[in-house]
Amino acid sequence: MKTILETTKVTETEVTHDVLSVLMTLLSASALLIGLWAAACIVGALWSHGLISVLRGYVTAVTGF
């Protein structure tokens, strides 16, 4: 009589892949949140100060004049 023995072994490559997958997901989620916050800040500045004032402030910040 033959018995079939199945073993499951998690290799180091599989664990590394899983860890990197989780880290990539966290990095992507944080990048998304930062992008959404930046967009909200720009919309808020445009809403409260107007386009011309925001552009003037941007040019002043970049050039120093």
Q: What is the pLDDT of residues 29-57, one digit of tens each?
A: 999 999 999 999 999 999 999 999 999 99
Range of the domain at 52: 39-65
Residue 33 in any domain: the answer is: no
- CA neighbor of 41 nearest in space, from 54, 28, 31, 52: 54
pLDDT band at 17 (very low <50, low <70, confident <90, very high): confident
Domain presence at residue 34 = no
- Determine the Cα–Cα distance for residues 18 and 36; give it in Å rounded to an integer: 27
**Amino acid identity, position 34:** I
- Indicate whether 59 belongs to any domain: yes
How many CB atoms neighbour CB 57 within 10 A?
A: 12
| Domains: count for the chain | 1
Give a yes or no: residue 32 inside a domain: no
Query: Average pLDDT for residues 58-62, to the nearest whole number?
Result: 95
pTM recorded for the entire structure: 0.65
What pLDDT, on a 0 to 100 scale, did the predictor assign at position 8? Answer: 65
Q: Is residue 1 part of a domain?
A: no
Q: What is the pLDDT at residue 9?
A: 63
45, part of any domain: yes
